[in-house]
Amino acid sequence: MRLLLIDDNEEITDSISFYCESKNIECDVINEGKKGLDSIRDKKYDLILLDLAMPEFSGLDILNSLREDGAIESNNIVVFTASSNRNVLDELKNSGIKEILKKPCSLDELIAVLEKYRPLA
């Protein structure tokens, strides 16, 4: 499985990438929005975990760019956010993302999302 994790919180990305390595999941970690967008455009991932609240170029900026490219639905994007803004979350659900994983999440919730998008061998 190939995962892209875009989040500016290095404690979160370190923890998730450490877990993924232990489960033989290839995990690319990017802590900046623009670099994350470039990686989505350059590579194919089985799953993209995308934080919304990042400085300079946010997860919403990434989603807007992918929407302009017509590339949201061709990617398995799970928004990974602490946001509880109901309007934003409802709009995201209708934008083509696959689902929303709320921070903080349990390990079981993370595993369930990873397994859901793991390609069949």
Question: pLDDT by residue (tens digit) across 60-92?
Answer: 999 999 999 999 889 999 999 887 777 777 778
The alpha carbon of residue 24 and the mean position of all alpha carbons in its chain are separated, in whole angstroms, by 18
Give yes or no for a contact between 28 and 80, defined as CB atoms under 8 angstroms apart: no
Domain ranges, ordered by start, for the chain: 2-117
Task: Quote the crossing angle between the two packed helices 10-22 and 107-117, to the nearest 10°.
Answer: 60
Q: What is the pLDDT of residue 1?
A: 95
Domain 2-117, classified CATH 3.40.50.2300, yes or no: yes
CA atoms of 51 and 2, how far apart (whole Å)? 17
Residue 110, C-beta contacts closer than 8 angstroms, at least 6 positions apart: 16, 19, 101
